[in-house]
Amino acid sequence: MRILVLMGGNSPERMVSLASGEAVAAGLDKMGHQVLKLDPAMPEKVYTIDQMIFEGAIGEIPHGKHACLTIEQINVLLSSIKKFSIDLIFPMLHGGWGEDGRLQALMELAGIPYVGSGPAASAAAMNKRMSKQLFSAVGIPTAEFFCLPLESVHLAPGYCDKLGYPLVVKPVHGGSTVGLTILHNPNNLERALELVKEQNDDILVEKYIPGREITVGILDGRGMAVVEIIPKDGFYDYKHKYTSGQTEYIAPAEIGDELTEKVIEYSARAFQAAGCQVYGRVDFRLNPKREFYCLEINTVPGMTAASLVPKSAAALGIEFHELVNRCAVTSVNLRRC
């Protein structure tokens, strides 16, 4: 197939997206596909597999801001897809319009096959408030929470006191822990709220679940291996995710067969509850009582060398190039367009 990998974009997760896109393109190339690459934020140039859009480290500080594509950029993107007779789009755009269903809706309106979940599922998964409501509706445990629109942020201190510390403050639609703060008391609440406001997003506050961080990669709607994430210090923030040596990963996680089976079952249930398709990732916290709580679904998860879905797949013997090829083939066979 002739596959166009979309990477970069203009969300705060731009650098991660570029790294993910390069990795996916290389994997698809290894499987014999004809691969092209394009950054929708600068869509005038289409890159071949031998031309690198991104080289180097992701860095510790997120770059870019949320912004929509202009009409001109959309037209150039669609023209390139037509010009190069693209068979399939592989979106590797993390955050913003690349992950929240808008790009997926555009591809469906244009009649272009693409990899991953559809518009409605993407929107539901990206909206942490909506996805947590879906979890509760199908009996999946999730942390207590409240949400506030930006214009009501002044109400947050009272709600936080009522919910009780420690708490996690984060954007409703964010990713890669951008704008996320763990608060053990109200002292830094004002700064935590400012970090969310910088993302121009609504605010979600949830009870902090002490214990272990685990995640499950999803492929073809089924859970793969459970991966435990152990940051060297602090919590699994942007720095620990994308800086080599800052985090230890155990795959499969050493949580016992019975709990492993249950977490994998609930990861698939969460994925299906949101209507997600093809591949993704479901994140959990496991408290000291061995009770797990679902945090969120990622429909366009990171696919870098340090990313979690490839680690989950590798624990089952699925190599990276096989993983991305299965995502591509499954998506084409959905025949949504």
Tracing tokens 């696919």 back to the chain, one arrives at 303
Q: Please identify which of the residues 11, 117, 127, 298 carries the catalytic annotation.
A: 298
Please write the tens of the pLDDT for every residue from 58-76.
655 554 455 677 888 888 8
> What's the rounded Cα separation, in Å, for the pair 322 and 279?
13
Q: Please identify which of the residues 8, 9, 11, 13 carries the catalytic annotation.
A: 13
Rg (CA), the chain: 19
Task: Look at residue 235 in the predicted model and tell me its pLDDT.
Answer: 56
Q: Please identify which of the residues 17, 20, 176, 267 carries the catalytic annotation.
A: 176
Please write the tens of the pLDDT for every residue from 149-170.
988 988 999 999 999 999 999 8
Does the annotation mark 283 as catalytic? yes
The CA–CA distances, whole Å, from 105 to 67, 114, 139, 314 equal: 17, 10, 29, 31
Does the annotation mark 185 as catalytic? no
Does the annotation mark 281 as catalytic? yes
User: Contact 189/183 with Cβ under 8 angstroms?
Assistant: yes
pLDDT band at 56 (very low <50, low <70, confident <90, very high): low
* Cα 13 off chain centre by: 10
Q: Which domains does the chain have, with CATH numbers?
A: 2-115 (3.40.50.20), 126-140+210-323 (3.30.470.20), 145-207 (3.30.1490.20)
Q: Please identify which of the residues 99, 208, 296, 325 carries the catalytic annotation.
A: 296
Q: Please identify which of the residues 47, 114, 238, 242 carries the catalytic annotation.
A: 242
Please write the tens of the pLDDT for every residue from 296-311.
999 999 998 779 999 9
3 state SS of 254: coil
Task: Look at residue 104 in the predicted model and tell me its pLDDT.
Answer: 95
Per cent of the chain over pLDDT 70 is 90
User: Contact 20/302 with Cβ under 8 angstroms?
Assistant: yes
Does the annotation mark 208 as catalytic? no
| Closest to 7 (Cα-Cα) out of 61, 45, 57 | 45
Does the annotation mark 296 as catalytic? yes
> What's the rounded Cα separation, in Å, for the pair 53 and 143?
39
Does the annotation mark 111 as catalytic? no
3 state SS of 87: coil
Region of 211 (left: φ > 0; alpha: ψ -120 to 50; beta: rest) is left
Task: Name the token pair of 103.
Answer: 């790009």
Please write the tens of the pLDDT for every residue from 312-324.
999 999 999 999 9
Enter the pTM of the model: 0.90
Q: Please identify which of the residues 127, 212, 302, 331 carries the catalytic annotation.
A: 302
Q: Which residue stretches of 84-176 are H helix?
A: 102-109, 119-126, 128-137, 156-163
Q: Please identify which of the residues 14, 212, 281, 285 carries the catalytic annotation.
A: 281
User: Contact 232/247 with Cβ under 8 angstroms?
Assistant: yes
- Taking 60 as the threshold, does the pLDDT of residue 241 lie above it? no
Task: Look at residue 272 in the predicted model and tell me its pLDDT.
Answer: 95
